[in-house]
Chain A
């Protein structure tokens, strides 16, 4: 047998194929870590730490409630509320006169233990901006609304109760003009003992309705038509200051809170496996109108003043916040846990950028006067917010 150049290429091919075959024959079975061969120093560490809150700060402000599905009337939890309604320009021909007008309101909830109270409906005589108005906007008799009510009706505690106010036909008739459309009516109470919640024009069902009884010139029989409001909004004020100390989260009084934890003791090269923020709800001091309160935890990415006396969480802007987690609480919730792994990892990597976590309410469409209260380091050191961190450290 002779090997000449014509056999060289097949020889390469055979050797090359054998090499490729051997390369494909990789097979590994690892050695157990528990064997004596492993130096413990070559392995990383799995650790756990619990951090108690360093600084917490709550701030709240009274906000405009336009867009809410609720109209609150009465007094509860040291908050007094009334509401405004107005209708679109009435499209009644001059040959039609308004005989009578009724405003029908449908109840959805009652909060508080008091007895029935009287609700009064007043003609509004000043213009108001539905998207801005709050109680602070000079809602006073004589200048904002007429002193004398058009009607007074009792308000009951039965949830499904409805209230029908009789309206002055002359006032209703004035809503044929643009001027009348801008003013509407104010529903208020001076002796409320509980808070009654009615559906607003944003409600899905059982909307408030204006019932118009009209008579066409030359006719003897009245016509009845119904019309939904164009705008409805409740306005409220706190009559006694809220207790300082707890961490609050609220909708109507829009409370949001910032929590600061010091994680400087965790080395910069740690990998955060999980960080859970746990808050205990002070159920006795919480007020729930709706079934639940949705909340969002965000991580501010710009510096603010950490002095709790001067801290103003509303100075954080949306573009400086990074979402951390969302959750919901209801009247039976006692504890919530929020995952903040990414936020804590950033704090560990860049301690100077630890600006804490801000808790926001996010149920604006269902805005009412729900307020969740959480224990803080001031109210209970043992039940104050805690950050449980599971992390690993690289081998030394």
Chain B
């Protein structure tokens, strides 16, 4: 086996092994509401810059939320990313909890059809639910727990084109997934049969989002919007007693979202940016939202990136991308009723180039808090580590003769 074959195999072996790992989500107490906690984060490079990416375009990694950003990709790219998340939950009266987990986050493929025209498809998380309450009965006759797991994912198929003055992109989204709610009762006495009631909500639906980008001198502009999507929801109940069946069929409307971003690159080394995104969750009927009242979400991101040297002959540490940013988010749920939940994070990131600069490993660290004891009665201190690997191949493109 020559070195080239070995490298190719190791790269795809790595990406395939990501797929084989059972997908799991890190926990959050807020993920028990509605369809769970939404995954607004996209692209590890953007996360390292506080989530900024709406106006940015990159020739190596791709940013899902604004499909127009794909047009600079000139080699076929496979991108897989991984996330570790840890949430320390702090409740009033000195009650604490801890959720931590690690999982594959997304996998995508971008293929340039011709110069400035790129197709993409892949899968990424849309929301997740992972929490657990548990307690022993005071008379110790049984223990009881309530656990939520699962999430919604998006299977997407997109197309982007460079139209000269502007870059445009459109993506069709197929939503699917399952949210599980498991209530368990374990008796201490072996004479009593334990209970386990599992309620699964299955979601399916189709949506569309599109984006535009433009560059004017050192400034970059970007905007994207997602059209409302109607999801079919089927609720099944399965009990340890033997009951199994569909108990409800309903619809859920994912509301319209809109985002805009601004980037400023004073030279080829520095990049500054800021994004804003909002989604009208208040328009969702609480009955559709499983009894929870939605709140409009707001996402404000800002950050910067510096690459000390673009010269391939310079030292490696000079060619690493160093990123810094921060994010403020208002989550789409109230906790408790009437109290909005906010999330603040500080973000750090690195972009490690390899393979003559055609490929990159992106790393990002997020540290922050979600909720507050004074208004939400619960606070989560969150730490997230993201890692993405982007590989490249020359597919559907004719090699130049030397």
Contact = CB atoms under 8 A, between A and B. Distances in A.
B174 interface: no
A22 B4 CA distance: 30
Contacts of A274: 191-193
B95 A35 contact: yes
Contact of A43 (B14, B183, B336, B352): B183
B133 interface: yes
A35 B91 contact: yes
A348 B193 CA distance: 15
Secondary structure of the B contact surface, majority rule: strand
A42 B241 contact: no
Contact of A22 (B84, B92, B377): B84
B29 A273 contact: no
A35 B3 CA distance: 58
Interface residues of A, number: 52
Contacts of B247: 269
B12 to A, nearest CB: 11
A395 B247 CA distance: 12
Given A28-B27, A31-B95, A272 B102 contact: no
A42 B183 CA distance: 8
Interface stretch (B71-79, B157-165, B264-272, B354-362): B354-362
Contacts of A243: none
B354 A3 contact: yes
Contacts of A270: 239, 241, 243
Contact of A44 (B32, B197, B336): B197
Contacts of B3: 5-6
Given A30-B145, A31-B91, A35-B91, A271 B193 contact: yes
B289 interface: no
A345 B241 contact: yes
A12 B14 contact: yes
A94 interface: no
A394 B194 CA distance: 13
Contacts of B193: 271-274, 341
A387 to B, nearest CB: 15
Contacts of B354: 3, 5, 7-8, 11
Contacts of A7: 354
Contact of B98 (A16, A27, A38): A27
Nearest to A339: B191
A37 B132 contact: no
A19 interface: yes
A35 B317 contact: no
A2 B311 CA distance: 12
Interface in A221-260: none
B99 interface: yes
Contacts of B7: 5, 8-9
Interface in B84-107: 84, 89, 91-92, 95-103
A23 B102 contact: yes
A15 B183 contact: no
B316 interface: yes
Contacts of B196: 271
Contact of B240 (A268, A271, A390): A271
Interface of A: 1-9, 11-12, 15-16, 18-19, 22-23, 25-38, 41-44, 46, 268-274, 339, 341, 345, 348-349, 390, 392, 394-395
10 contacts: A12-B11, A22-B84, A29-B98, A31-B131, A41-B291, A273-B187, A274-B191, A274-B193, A395-B146, A395-B183
- Nearest 3 A/B pairs, CB to CB: A271-B241, A394-B197, A33-B135
